[in-house]
Amino acid sequence: TGELNQLAKAKGKLYFGTATDNNELSDTAYTAILDDHNMFGQITPANSMKWDATEPSRGTFTFANGDVIANLAKSNGQLLRGHNCVWYNQLPSWVSSGGFNSATLTSIIQTHCSTLVGHYKGQVWDVVNEPFNDDGTWRSDVFYNTLGQSYVSIALQAARTADPNAKLYINEYNIEYAGAKATAMMNLVKSLKSSGVPLDGIGLQCHFIVGDVPTGLQSILQQFVALGVEVAITELDIRMTLPATNALLQQQEKDYQTVISACAAVEGCVGVTVWDFTDKYSWVPNTFSGQGEACPWDANLQKKPAYSGIVAGWGA
C-alpha cells in the first residue's frame, strides 16, 4: 500500500503534508514520523513564518525559526508551504495598531511580502490568509480598513515580483461548503483573475467537526478549479467533543476518508495538509474547550482509525 505521501502521489497529487512547529522538533519520537518523506511530502510552519515572528519591528526581519523549518523540509526532501504573508492575527502591534495612511501601509505590505517570498524562493505561499467574515463581508482589520480590498492585490503583486516562480494562494476557512463566504471567495477569484492580478490557488483550511464534514466539498473544490485556480486542502483536522468513544473514532475515520476522496476526485486539487498529524500538538484543545483528538495520530504518536480513513480516501 505505502505511506500517505506515496498514496497521494500515486493518485496524481503533488503531496500529502503536515503542519509542524519549532518547539516540536526536539521530540525525537515525533520527528521520526515527521521526517519520513514517504509519509509527508510537504510541511507548513504553524507559526514561525507569521508576521509577528518574521518582522517584529518595522524593517527588521528575523528568519531564524522559519529557516529551521525550511532547512528541515529541504533535508527531508519535502515541499514547503509558506504561511503566511498578510493576516489579521499574530500581527506585531506596530502593524495592528495602525495609524498608517494608505501609501505607507501599501509600502509596509509590499516590503513584508516581498521579503518573505524572496527569502524563501520557489515555494508555495499563503499570501493572504482569512480575508472574509463568515457572512462573506470583508474582515475589518488594519489592512481592509486602510486600503479596502486592494490590499489583496498589493500583497499578491509584491509576492509575484519577489519570486515569479512562487505559487501564490489565498487561504480561508468555512469556504468548504456553499454559502455567502464561499461565494465571496469565488467572486474575489473572478475579479482578481479578470484584472490580471497574479493568483495561483485557493487554500481550503478544512477545520472540521466529526459527523459534520460538508457533503458538498468535492463540488466546491470543482467550482474553484473551474475559475482557473488550483486548490489545496491546507489545514485539515476533524475534532470531536471529548471523551473520544469508539463510535466517534469510527465516524472520524469515515470523515477523513470523505475529505481525502474529495481531493482525490478533483484534478485541480494538488494536495492535502493536516494541521499537525498528532493530537499531542494539535491547536484544537487550546481553542475549543472540551474538544480535541482531531488528528490522525493520537497523543502517544499511535495511528488512529482516522489514518485508515486517509489511506482509504486515496483509494488504497
Binding interface with ligand G3I (CB under 6 A): 46-47, 89-90, 129, 205, 235, 283
Beta strands in 160-315 (DSSP E): 167-172, 201-204, 207-209, 230-241, 269-274, 291-292
Options 55, 172, 230, 235, the catalytic residue: 235
d(Cα 252, Cα 212) in Å, to the nearest integer? Answer: 10
At its nearest, how many Å lie between ligand G3I and the CB of residue 278? 13
Comparing CA positions, the residue from 188, 87, 182, 190 lying closest to residue 136 is 182
Distance CA 125, CA 93 (A): 23
Min separation Cβ 89 and ligand G3I, Å? 5
Distance CA 86, CA 292 (A): 28
Is 51 or 307 the residue whose CB approaches ligand G3I more closely? 51
- Residue 130 falls in the annotated catalytic set: yes
CB of 235 to ligand G3I, least distance (A): 5
Q: Give the helix/strand (H/E) hosting 157.
A: helix 150-162
Is 251 in contact with 304 (CB distance < 8 Å)?
no
Q: Which is nearer to ligand G3I, 47 or 218 (CB)?
A: 47
Is the Cβ of residue 11 or residue 81 nearer to ligand G3I in the bound state? Answer: 81
Residue 60 Cβ, how far from ligand G3I at the closest point, in Å?
A: 18
- Establish whether 3 is a catalytic residue: no
Q: Which of 133, 54, 131, 141 is nearest to 105 (CA)?
A: 141
C-beta of 21 vs 36, nearer to ligand G3I = 21
Q: Which one of 130, 172, 230, 293 is the catalytic residue? A: 130
Q: Known catalytic residues?
A: 130, 235
